Amino acid sequence: MSRFGIVHAAIAALFLPGPAVAAELIADGRFEKGQDTFWASDGPTLERENGRLCVETQGGGEVWSQIVGVNGLTLVPGRIYRLSLRIAAKPARAIAVRVQRAADPWTAVAEFTTAGSPDGSPFSVEFEATEPDEAQLVLLLGGAEAGRICLDDVSLVATGAVSQAAKRATEGPVIRVNQLGYFTGGPKRATFIADVKRPIDFQLLDAKDKVVGKGKTQPSGFDPTAGVETQVADFSSFATAGDGYRLVSGDWASDRFSIGDNLYDRLRVDALSWFYPQRSGIEIKAAIAGKAYARSAGHVGVAPNQGDTAVPCLDSKQAVALYGGWSCSYRLDVSGGWYDAGDHGKYAVTGALSAAQLLAAYERGRVYAAASPVTRDGLSRIPENGNGMPDILDEARWELEFLLRMMVPDGAPLAGMVHHKVHDTTWTAPPLLPSDDPQPRALYRPSTAATLDVAAVAAQGARLFADQNPTFSARLLAAARKAWMAANANPALLAPKSDGLGGGGDYDDDSISDELFWAATELYLTTGDEAYLNVLRASPLWAADTLSPGGAFDWRNVAGFARLQLALYGTGLPDDERELIRNAVLAAARHFLSVQQTEPFGLVYRPEGRRYDWGSNQLMLQNIIVLSAAFDLSGEKSFLDGAREGMDYILGRNAMALSYVTGYGTRAPKNQHSRWYAHQRDPQLPNPPVGSLAGGPNSTFVDDVARQHLKGCAPQTCYADDIEAYGSNEIAINWNAPLAYVASFLADAR
């Protein structure tokens, strides 16, 4: 067994990696051994002579038309680097020097201008690395008169210094754990952040601080996504249920956690109950949601609110810019549904997938978990509680009814298509209750993506409501077929990208092959009609790898979700085809496990370039859902163990030492971006309710908080619990829906 171990006080302050001797990143930068790897763009020819690298430059052109560079530079975000070189230029000239991303879009990490003189000018500068991608050093030599340039003494080394942002991973406890806890028969691992090369002794203490286990860590090296050296402690063999456990090593101690098999029961309830106060068009009652969350109905036309009961189509300069003048003559009642995220917008594409994942949690409970509470009435905190209908179906129906209202009415142009979204025509800011929103609302042009998404979730709903409410089931199936026909008649009505000033998110999508695949999947599963199956067989996605460790699926890429649905519920497929799809899911899940085994924090996520995406936490959850599907399909415990360990990151075993679910763990966010859960801005308003998932670290800085405070952050630390940090700290229906699914799976699966 590999275990973390006790550390002596003498090394208790050693967290960040800091090599005693800086490693040189430029091979043979003195050009003495003939082992350098410099290259030149088309045009100039490199010559190596007398310990220098020289090039004859041509006159004119753009500055980037002639380049000399070297690739293969691995920089760690937050580290300070020193670049030095000597440049001789005849005639003398200014030369642009860049350290940049080694692939499109060639983002600059640092850029400088230096003078090249005939006798060789020395140049030295320090800079902070901000990107986790592989970098290159380039000299831009075009745009000047012809001449000769020679390089010598080229060096790039880490100074050992780190930026303040890069130190964020060392600010919490050295020992990072799942702050909720671990299953008695599941994996139990923790991550130590310590620049110690040898294994470390550790002890497991119970609630009375009695030693109940011990072991040694396994050094796991530098984690570029966290910016720190790590070790992993494995105490999986300990299987005694209880609360108040913690790991200790010398002066280091983890947060306390539980061990047991009912840890996710409460999270299932809270994650599902989260949707009720997110509802539009209904009073939120204190007796159900809690006194702090009671509010008037939003967007029902009570002043100053203009309501969603008779919303016109967008008809403005923005409509001309977006759609070439499209508008409509009707108004629609699009009340109800869920507010998408921290604003008051409602979007068909995110709403459809969110409702679908709640429905999927119900179907999974019905098919793969006998007597699961998720299939019953009385599970969550909603006004429909006690009506005899499973609560999760009641909640999904609230959104389904809204989505049906978003359809273009019969007799109008584009009849049967679904409006992409409805929201304010100008942005609002927190704090603002939904009932106090004074802005006009508008329907945006229907899109093929939204229409196919609604066809998919309506068909899925028809299947699952058939026994509970046949009348509603029939309505859903009729709507699904109508939307399918309309989308096929309008196959390229895409949602465009805007200037971002229009009061809501774009949710633009330039490819609808995945939406077509999902809609055909659900219609086939519900009707058994071979015509839909033939659409699937003809799709390039039928045999494609649709499940990526960078995010198996989300609202923009739904083919992976369709793949899971086919694998789990396609019992009518021919045996060979069902086996094909089943094996594709199992292969993807095994790949996810192999990724997880190399991650010191046990996460199931490997984005391209290790740049964390917007909503990274929900992408991890979707990947966990792939593991859950593999377990349901195969019964192999490794998939269940992978899903269990994958939640460690979400619940505290991460570089921020933060549980990303409000109300869970020792430290959790409470200032997620929201107009009405805006306690940070107005003490009279509440923080987000328990069970709210924060979006998670985001390597792309889209808000001012990130731009001002997170420069140089390692990917896992590009997060701030601030109401204005919407890029990393927003709440969203399509983030809490997979949380509810995963919590329900983990509460049931054994």
pLDDT, position 405: 99
Distances (CA, A) of 426 to 307, 385, 606: 15, 37, 36
Residue 294 CA to residue 108 CA, distance in Å, equals 49
Average of pLDDT values for 312-333? 91
Q: Quickly list H helices, 54-120.
A: none
User: Do 555 and 353 meet the contact criterion of CB atoms below 8 Å apart?
Assistant: yes
User: Do 490 and 414 meet the contact criterion of CB atoms below 8 Å apart?
Assistant: yes
Provide the pLDDT confidence category of residue 18 given band limits of 50, 70 and 90: very low
Q: Phi and psi of 55, rounded to 5°?
A: -150, 140
Average of pLDDT values for 263-287? 99
User: Which structure tokens are listed for 480?
Assistant: 């699904």
CA angle 627–628–630, rounded 5-degree value: 65
Question: What is the per-residue pLDDT across 31-54, written as a single tens digit (0 to 9) for each?
Answer: 988 888 999 998 788 999 889 999
Q: Quickly list H helices, 129-260.
A: none
pLDDT, position 166: 65
Distances (CA, A) of 500 to 318, 410, 427, 699: 11, 32, 9, 20
User: Do 168 and 717 meet the contact criterion of CB atoms below 8 Å apart?
Assistant: yes
Residue type, 355: A
Residue 454 CA to residue 418 CA, distance in Å, equals 7
Provide the 3-class DSSP secondary structure of residue 574. Answer: coil
pLDDT, position 7: 30
- Between helix 448-465 and helix 348-368 the angle, nearest 10°, is 30
Provide the pLDDT confidence category of residue 8 given band limits of 50, 70 and 90: very low
Residue 342 CA to residue 677 CA, distance in Å, equals 8
Residue type, 337: G
User: Do 407 and 447 meet the contact criterion of CB atoms below 8 Å apart?
Assistant: no
Q: Return the domain boundaries, the chain.
A: 9-16+166-261, 39-162, 266-748
Greatest CA span in the chain, whole angstroms?
88
* Residues with active-site annotation: 343, 673, 721, 730
Residue 699 CA to residue 123 CA, distance in Å, equals 31
39-162 in CATH: which number?
Answer: 2.60.120.260
- Please report how many Cα atoms fall inside a 13 Å half-sphere around the Cα of residue 528, on the Cβ side: 3
Range from 123-127, 161-165, 374-378 that averages highest in pLDDT:
374-378
Residue 248 CA to residue 400 CA, distance in Å, equals 49
Contacts of 343 (CB under 8 A, 6+ apart): 423, 424, 427, 428, 504, 505, 675
266-748 classified as CATH 1.50.10.10? yes
Asked whether the predicted pLDDT for residue 229 surpasses 60, the reply is yes
pLDDT, position 12: 31
User: Any idea which residue has 């390039």 for tokens?
Assistant: 540
DSSP for residue 38: -
Question: What is the per-residue pLDDT across 406-445, written as a single tens digit (0 to 9) for each?
Answer: 999 999 999 999 999 999 999 999 999 999 999 999 999 9
Residue 196 CA to residue 219 CA, distance in Å, equals 8
What is the CATH class of 9-16+166-261?
A: mainly beta
Q: Are strands 189-193 and 175-176 parallel, antiparallel or unpaired?
A: antiparallel
Average of pLDDT values for 177-196? 97
Provide the pLDDT confidence category of residue 261 given band limits of 50, 70 and 90: very high
Residue 300 CA to residue 310 CA, distance in Å, equals 9
Per-residue HEC secondary structure of 651-700 comes to ECCCCCCCECECCCCCCCCCCCECCCCCCCCCCCCCCCCCCCECCCCCCC
Residue 537 CA to residue 38 CA, distance in Å, equals 49
Average of pLDDT values for 628-647? 99
User: Any idea which residue has 């997110």 for tokens?
Assistant: 278
Question: What is the per-residue pLDDT across 64-88, written as a single tens digit (0 to 9) for each?
Answer: 899 999 999 988 877 889 999 999 9
Provide the 3-class DSSP secondary structure of residue 86. Answer: strand
Asked whether the predicted pLDDT for residue 225 surpasses 60, the reply is yes
Q: What's the pTM?
A: 0.86
Contacts of 18 (CB under 8 A, 6+ apart): 160, 195
Asked whether the predicted pLDDT for residue 669 surpasses 60, the reply is yes
Average of pLDDT values for 487-516? 93
Provide the pLDDT confidence category of residue 16 given band limits of 50, 70 and 90: very low
User: Do 266 and 665 meet the contact criterion of CB atoms below 8 Å apart?
Assistant: no
Q: Phi and psi of 481, rounded to 5°?
A: -65, -40
Provide the 3-class DSSP secondary structure of residue 443. Answer: strand
Report the sign of the C-alpha dihedral through residues 279, 280, 285, 291, in that order: positive
Average of pLDDT values for 636-660? 99
Residue type, 587: A
pLDDT, position 14: 37
Percentage with pLDDT > 90 across the chain:
85
Q: Which residue has the higher pLDDT, 500 or 315?
A: 315
pLDDT, position 77: 77
Distances (CA, A) of 671 to 122, 482, 637: 50, 42, 37
Average of pLDDT values for 90-108? 91
